[in-house]
Structure 1
């Protein structure tokens, strides 16, 4: 039986999932502009340790971020098998270095769970939600927390 006060079905969101250090993460597919093979970036002096450098993407200077290092995990030692996910965060394009892109996921709002209260404030800031799917715990990354420029404009 259906309750008359039952809420209508939740929206379905699409995500791109990928791995870092054997763990699964995902980002909103609407923020992904392209997925590229690894290209060695030009280092930028005095940049944060998680910034690998910049590359020329069809005339645009694209900062490349080691997503593992940005999330407080071990730094990725990029190889030709690594992938760069180009995402749009506000007005800024950023390349995120990951081990591999896994899948496209369609997830209903109802299975997206909040980050537990016992997580550190830093963890809660980076992750919008968690999803238990097929024996995996997948973290949904809040892209606005990744880029320093994006953080400052979000705080304004």
Structure 2
């Protein structure tokens, strides 16, 4: 295990008081050449990649399941889910264990960068253009230290039909 995050330990303010600016913390990670961020409150821990047990008839982006301290956790390769052109497993490849819609699951990413604290009004809407990632899965784009950060809506990405596929595959 590389890191352990506790949702109760992450601090964020969502007040609209003029004295305080609404902020949130995001875990940043790499997928290909892009840097993404997800709400730190969804993150349980970060683990080294280990080959999961494959589930028959599961979609390609569902790599399988792992036993995480007695809990069977489905593993989704986020690179495959988002249509990244190449998917390589390196020593930097990690699994981010998330709690999304009361379901624990892992997502495979190229590497984890850091945790950033963003003012919520610094997250700008995404421009309207054709891309590999459906804009419904993106909250917006922020600039962090002169680099662009794509802020993901991980709940939208891993909900609806995908969550049904996950539950069917491991259930």
Contact 2:83 2:132 in 1 (8 A): no
1:3 is aligned to none
1:49 aligns to what SS in structure 2?
A: coil
| Structure 1 pair 17–91 and aligned structure 2 pair: CA distance change class (3 A) | same
Deviations 1:76-113 (A, max 9, x none): 23234311100111111110111111011000012101
| Counterpart-to-counterpart distance in 1, 2:132 and 2:113 | 28
| Counterpart-to-counterpart distance in 2, 1:122 and 1:10 | 29
- RMSD, matched Cα: 2.2
| Structure 1 pair 111–14 and aligned structure 2 pair: CA distance change class (3 A) | same
| Counterpart-to-counterpart distance in 1, 2:144 and 2:128 | 21
| Counterpart-to-counterpart distance in 2, 1:10 and 1:84 | 32
Offset of 1:75 from its aligned partner?
Answer: 4.8
| Structure 1 pair 104–19 and aligned structure 2 pair: CA distance change class (3 A) | same
Normalising to structure 2: TM-score of the pair? Answer: 0.77
| Structure 1 pair 46–75 and aligned structure 2 pair: CA distance change class (3 A) | farther
Offset of 1:119 from its aligned partner?
Answer: 4.6
Aligned partner (choices 81, 92, 96) of residue 81 of structure 1: 92
- Kindly tell me the number of residue pairs found equivalent between the two proteins: 146
2:4 is aligned to none
| Structure 1 pair 55–121 and aligned structure 2 pair: CA distance change class (3 A) | closer
| Counterpart-to-counterpart distance in 1, 2:123 and 2:74 | 30
1:30 aligns with 2:30: no
Normalising to structure 1: TM-score of the pair? Answer: 0.84
Alignment gaps of 5+ in structure 1 = 1-6, 152-156
| Counterpart-to-counterpart distance in 1, 2:96 and 2:156 | 16
Structure index of larger Rg? 1
